[in-house]
Structure 1
Amino acid sequence: MNAQRRIEDDNERNLATPQSTSTSHAITPAADALPEDAALQCCFKYFFEYHFTSEFCSFFYKPEFQKRHREFPFLIVSIVALTSRYLSFMEAETYFDMTPCEVGVIYGKKARQMARDTSDSPTVWNIQANLILALSELLSGPGASVKHWMYLGTAIRMAQAMRLNKNFHQIHSLREQEARRRVFWACFLWDKLLASSMFKPCILTEQSIQIALPGTDAAFAYGEASRGLTLSTLATFAGPPSDVGITPYLIVTVYLWSKIADWQIGDNRLFDKDAPTDPQSNFQKHHATMRAWISVLPPWLQWSEKNYTVHRELSQERQFIILHLLHLSSMCVAHQAYLPHNKGPSMLLDTVDGAGLSLVHSDPALIAPCVVNAMATGEMIAWLMDNDPLAEQKLRSPWVGISLLSASAGLLWLRYNDSQHYNLSSNMAKQYLDYFGNLFEYWKSTWNVASQWLQILKGMEALYRVAYEGEITDDISRDEPFPDEPDESMGHEKKHQYYPRPGDGLPPVDPAAPLYTLLRDNTANAIHQNVAQRHWIWLQLAGTWPQSFSYELNPPSVLQDEEVSGLLS
């Protein structure tokens, strides 16, 4: 109790400290607002190891950052808030005289306050800070909080205000121009990531981008001019790997992947008038572009044990893994919409899609890419887990998380359908799903969002069990419930939180729907469903789904956990 009171008192004092402005940065807090250098170096170590390259395009020059970091307190505080989850208890006690959780509470609140104070002050450093804070909020995963989406939006608007997507920055040094390009591309990547994970439309489009892709870290350090490679010209590059590096290839892969993911996010199967097998359909065009891109990757970027070893020696293995998982995911994320559910209650429905195809229409040309690439994803994860003792850490990335969820759809379909038709093993599919679940379990110790991913995975499997085997269970509702209110212990404030509710931003629960729709809604809306709502869904499923649903029960917004648990028991 005393420790908690001390934290709150210190936090109020720090947040209440008057802050002045200067021309070089938006906030100059009191001297005691930032940790000592030893504490900062500990946090920087984790930031550079886990996030700097794979999530943020190495968006500042390290020596300059180390020299000037105290000039940019918002950036520093955001890094501390993000990396507090990796601190050991000894490190937190030694450097902060707190527990890791307490560090996250205090510096998370400071970072959010600084984000509010600088929201009308677009600078490169403030953009970087907002991106880092967005990641911190995403990983904290407090129920249905959308703060990470808000901070990303602020970063993107700042980047647009500064026209970082244009070549209008020649007054700056070549190194500063490269840093600005990298900041914009970090915004671009995060726009695609959060849009896909939240089933939202992207903000940034390729039509507005008129800058080159990032150069190599060596060129960045030497202050060399950009080679001018762009989203549309990188495929024609024929130079040596040292002239371009892996980051541009990852950006193009994310760009092409996101166009396919957008098709699924928009639920275009129900609206597209063109059949998915029509070469002129958007579905086919997007996938053909991705296949063409994969086919022109240079040999040093092909998946192999040798190439993985090389990238590991260059500390680029996380980017290399993400690149290939997104290639595989691109053939699952939209194709999963065409997995037919020819067993169970879905056969009783006559729903058709926008092209006039039944939702139980079966076409091997649409099924095979999904299930084959889902199995390839599982094989890659299994190989990494079996051959690299640090695989759990190296795989820990939001991109990996959403890739595994898209592959899970194909693996679950194989488990409950005729896998032999595709010369694939349903037993292996189950083993790969276990690998995915084990990864999410491992990540939960530092990433709350992994609990959400695990909940989505279990929700998908529960829906399959209900539809194909008639097995009703409430295990999905009881395991790792999402908080209805933000968790103060993870540094989230209980005030001023927006949480979608039924009839107020949250789509209505409609269990009287084909399995296709329920599976999609499970992925899109699981983070917004509290325990009572999930209990209610399973209670409805227990009533001869999907033909005999009654909405006479109290709606999820007022039904209490205890009431539903009693009904289930």
Structure 2
Amino acid sequence: MTLSSHNDPMDTRKRSPSNSPTPDTVFLEACDIYFRHSHNKPYGFFNAELFQQKAAKNLVPLHLRLALIATATRYSSRSQWRERKQSTIDGYARCSWELIVTSQNGLDDTDDVTVIQALALLAVIDATAGRRRGAWVKIGMAVRISQDLQLMLEPSAKFSSLERDERRNLFWSLYLLDRFVCCSFQRPPAIKDSDCLLNLPTYRSSGKRESTTTLKGLLDENNRDTTLRPGMFGISIALVSVLGRTIKCMMNTEDNQEKPWHLDSEYRRIHRDLEFLKELAVNNSPVLAAPGEARPQDEMHDSDRERIAHMVLSHTLYHLSHCILSHPYLLSLKIQSVPVSDMPPAWLEETRATCLVHAGSLITVLVEAKAAGYMPVPSVYSYCILVASTIHALYLHSDDIAVSHGSAEYLKTSLEYLGEVSELWTNAQMIANALKSFALQCGRYSDLLLREKPLVDELTPTEAAVLRSVLDYWAMMDPHNAVFDVAQNGVDGLLHNPDIGPGYLTPPTPGAVAVEGITLGVEMSHSVGFGQKSGDSVDPDILIQWPASIMSPMASEDGGSPRWDWDSELNAMND
């Protein structure tokens, strides 16, 4: 009997932790993998020390063990399991879910948070596999249970310090997950900022003492202090909060008559918050080794990797918020609904030029961070790359040859990135296909949107649906969304250019702040030309389909075969 084909997955309930005198070897192996490759990158669903204690005593319930094994399975580097990996993940995840909803103790009224932890892990699995409704339900359940346990308040003193740390980080990780899946049109988050009254997460092992503050306190516009040290995790939370407001401002406030160029508008308030948090992120970023002196990844402490992962997340969220705030399509919709008689003459052109800079910076941060090996690649980064790349796709047709060629380079870099991370995330390949489809249609979009007065009304309903889809994370989880339907034949007919070889082709970013190979700054200017594609512009047929390279995140220390023993693991689960 195999896990993917058995008729009664609930037979595994008979193998509860208490039935065995020692912890399951396979589960402990999965724990090592999970905490090295996934924990706090960016979701901190557990306190590592507390979880290790429970695992050693065999006190982790089966529903959570199965969810964690399903999550860890994703990081296997054995190429022979590539075809079977998703079905194996789904098999474990299905067993975990059925245990939760059918067990008498699965949804009881105790203070146990393991159901929340399992639901959060399962939601990520569902979302990245395209099971949107399942992910939505599981996130909703996790949020409601967390609210029932009052995780949005400071943890009670009745809990140990490790338990308080775990409950705080668990809630804020749910907050991250909730905000990410709501990067969408008309999909409100389940957690309100006003309900979040607990302190932001901090790293207790940080070299410098981190400040204790709430989300409201950190974002208080009347009490700004760039010397604060809330830590990179806390800054990531604040940036996700601002991202949520950005989504609401640009994607979910129809017929809003507020003029974005006014200083007292929400648009400008978001800008001010982003610049404040960017300064905080730079001031709080971990000090990395000088180029050529970096320690091998195996020698880095887990806390160092986690802080670096949140540093990359913070800078990515900063650029993503700017990309959405000033995206040519969303900006065209915004100014269409308001009187523009008092709009500053150069405001629209300057805003779009800044947007192009942020799009390039976002791609640079993620590609260089991945190349530096500081972190695995969270699935949400594929969406971030897509949003930035749609901006460069529009500028393929710029009359400015330098801009056109620069955008083509960024697009090639993005497609290679998506091809490589598709080894980990199924939805990355879907997003890569969406980007290619979109780029083939961008001649008309550029002509209508990059004008002095954008002609949004001339977009057909289908064209508007495509533009909305590539900016909507929820739509990108659906393999049947509009962007695939419109240009499928075009994708299949892409020409291969023999003069272009694979490799990272990220253009340099003059004036940017480089931190150990990761470019963080955005001090760069472009001379942006608008209009239709000229004869010398880059042809979108250069968007060739890059092959996905083999990733090996779990190679053994001695260079031999990975330690993850699939045969033993599957046999153990099916005994």
Partner of 1:176: 163
Kept in 2, the 8 Å contact 1:54–1:319? The answer is yes
Answering whether residue 417 of structure 2 is matched by residue 432 of structure 1, we say no
Conserved 8 A contact 1:271-1:353: no
Deviation per CA, 1:381-437, whole angstroms, max 9, x where unpaired? 45446x63x37xx351134222212212321222222457xxx63212211111111
Q: Which residue number in structure 2 is paired with residue 261 of structure 1?
A: 247
Task: Output the amino acid matched with 2:337.
Answer: G
Which residue in 2 is equivalent to 1:398?
Answer: 379
Q: Which residue pairs with 1:450 in the alignment?
A: 428
* 1:23-55 deviation digits (Å, cap 9, x = unpaired): xxxx958959x9973322322222112221123
**Cα distance between partner residues in 2 of 1:533 and 1:413:** 15
Name the residue aligned to 1:520: 468
Matches within 5 A, 1:18-57: 28=16, 31=19, 37-57=24-44
Amino acid at match of 2:480: N
CA distance in 1, matches of 2:468, 2:235: 30
2:234 alignment partner, one of 225, 248, 253: 248
CA deviation vs aligned residue, 1:516-536 (integer Å, no higher than 9, x gap): 653113443354353899446
Q: Any conservation in 1 of the 2:120–2:142 contact (CA below 8 Å)?
A: yes
* Structure 1 unaligned regions, length at least 5: 20-26, 342-349, 471-509, 541-569
Distance 1:209 1:216 in 2: 19
Matched, 1:459 2:450: no
Query: What SS is found at the alignment partner of 1:108?
Result: helix
Shift of 1:292: 2.3
Rate the CA distance shift 1:175–1:531 in 2: closer, same or farther, 3 A: closer
Is contact 1:28-1:71 (8 Å) kept? no
List per-residue Cα deviations over 1:84-140 (Å, max 9, x = no partner). Answer: 2222449989xxxx9645532431220121232366336311111111111122232
2:270 aligns with 286
Aligned residue in 1 for 2:480: 530
Other-structure match for 1:353: 336
Does 2:100 align with 1:115? yes
How far 1:166 moved relative to its partner?
1.3
CA distance in 2, matches of 1:261, 1:302: 29
CA distance in 2, matches of 1:115, 1:198: 31
Taking a change above 3 Å as real, the CA distance of residues 333 and 535 of structure 1, as seen in their structure-2 partners, is closer
Q: Report what 1:474 is aligned to.
A: none
The alpha-carbon deviation at position 83 of structure 1 amounts to: 1.8
Distance 1:43 1:324, change over 3 A: same
Query: Quick one: distance in 2 between partners of 1:168 and 1:374?
Result: 39
- Of the three residues 101, 114, 122, the one matched with 1:133 is 122
Q: Is the CA contact 1:81–1:108 (under 8 Å) kept in the aligned structure 2?
A: yes
Among 370, 392, 416, the residue aligned to 1:411: 392
Q: 1:427 to 1:84 in 2, by over 3 A?
A: same
Are residues 417 and 140 of structure 1, via their aligned partners in 2, closer, same or farther at CA, if it must alter by over 3 Å? same
Aligned to 2:308: 317
Alignment deviations for residues 216-271 of structure 1 (CA, whole Å, 9 cap, x no partner): 14389xxx9x96322234464747x6xx54211222222222221232331x3x42
Contact 1:257 1:290 in 2 (8 A): no
| Aligned-partner SS, 1:330 | helix
CA deviations over 1:443-493 (Å, ceiling 9, x no partner): 2122111122213322321331454699xxxxxxxxxxxxxxxxxxxxxxx
Q: What is the rounded CA distance, in whole Å, between the counterparts of 1:261 and 1:31 in structure 2?
A: 49
2-side partners of 1:271 and 1:469: how far apart? 24
- Partner of residue 77 from structure 1, selected from 55, 63, 66: 66
- Matching residue within 150, 166, 170 for 1:163: 150
Q: 1:426 to 1:150 in 2, by over 3 A?
A: same
> What secondary structure is seen at the aligned counterpart in 2 of 1:12?
coil
Regions of 4+ moved over 6 Å: 90-93, 302-305, 537-540
CA 1:294–1:91 in 2, change beyond 3 Å: closer, same or farther? same
Q: Is the 8 A contact 2:17 2:58 kept in 1?
A: no
**TM-score for both structures, normalised by structure 2:** 0.69
Structure 1 CA distance for aligned equivalents of residues 419 and 80 of structure 2? 24
Matching residue of 1:566: none
Partner Cα distance (1:200, 1:35) in 2: 45
Q: Which moved more, 1:83-92 or 1:39-48?
A: 83-92
Matched, 1:12 2:7: yes
CA distance in structure 2 between the partners assigned to 1:448 and 1:107 by the alignment? 17
- Higher RCO, Cα 8 Å, sep 6+: 2
Aligned partner of 2:196 in structure 1 is 209
Superposed CA offset, 1:356-393 (max 9, x none): 459xx9812321221111122233345446x63x37xx
CA distance in structure 1 between the aligned counterparts of 2:156 and 2:147, rounded to whole angstroms: 13
Q: 1:111 to 1:433 in 2, by over 3 A?
A: same
Question: In 1, are the aligned partners of 2:246 and 2:270 still within 8 Å (CA)?
Answer: yes
C-alpha distance in 1, partners of 2:288/2:390? 25
CA distance in structure 1 between the partners assigned to 2:434 and 2:22 by the alignment: 38
Structure 1 residue 369 corresponds to structure 2 residue 350: no
CA contact (8 A) 2:250 2:334 kept: no
| Residues 380 and 59 of structure 1, relative CA distance in 2, 3 Å threshold | same
Per-residue deviation, residues 318-351 of structure 1 (Å, max 9, x unmatched) = 222111111111111121045788xxxxxxxx99
Between the aligned partners of 2:426 and 2:146, the Cα distance in structure 1 is: 29
* 2: CA distance, partners of 1:340 / 1:259: 15
More displaced stretch, 449-458 vs 227-236: 227-236
Conserved 8 A contact 2:200-2:214? yes
The alpha-carbon deviation at position 151 of structure 1 amounts to 0.9
Q: Which has the higher helix share?
A: 1
Mapped pair 1:333 → 2:324: yes
C-alpha change, 1:171 and 1:362, in structure 2 (3 Å) is closer
Once residues 528 and 170 of structure 1 are traced to their aligned partners in structure 2, the CA distance between those partners, rounded to angstroms, is: 44
Residues 184, 251 of structure 2: 8 Å contact kept: no
Structure 1 counterpart SS, 2:216: coil
For residues 531 and 515 of structure 1, the distance between their equivalents in structure 2, rounded to whole angstroms, comes to 12
Distance of aligned partners of 1:304 and 1:271 in 2 relative to their CA distance in 1, 3 Å threshold: farther
Instruction: Look up the SS of the partner of 1:163 in the other structure.
Output: coil
Distance in 2 (alpha carbons) for counterparts of 1:271 and 1:384: 39
Contact map agreement 1:70 1:76 (CA 8 A) in 2: no
Alpha-carbon distance change, 381 to 538 in structure 1, aligned in 2, over 3 angstroms: closer
Where does the alignment leave 5 or more consecutive residues of structure 2 unmatched? 219-223, 449-457, 491-575
CA–CA separation in structure 1 for the residues paired with 2:196 and 2:331: 39
Distance 1:412 1:28 in 2: 53
Partner Cα distance (1:177, 1:531) in 2 = 42
- CA gap 1:114/1:353 in 2 versus in 1, 3 angstroms: farther
CA contact (8 A) 1:75 1:129 kept: yes
Alpha-carbon distance in structure 2 between the residues aligned to 1:138 and 1:465: 32
Alignment: residue pair count: 456
Q: Following TM superposition, by how much is the alpha carbon of 1:193 offset from its aligned partner in structure 2, in angstroms?
A: 1.1
Identical columns (%):
15
Within 1, Cα distance between the matches of 2:79 and 2:367?
33
Q: Relative to structure 2, which stretch is displaced further, 150-159 or 38-47?
A: 38-47
Counterpart-to-counterpart distance in 1, 2:247 and 2:415: 22
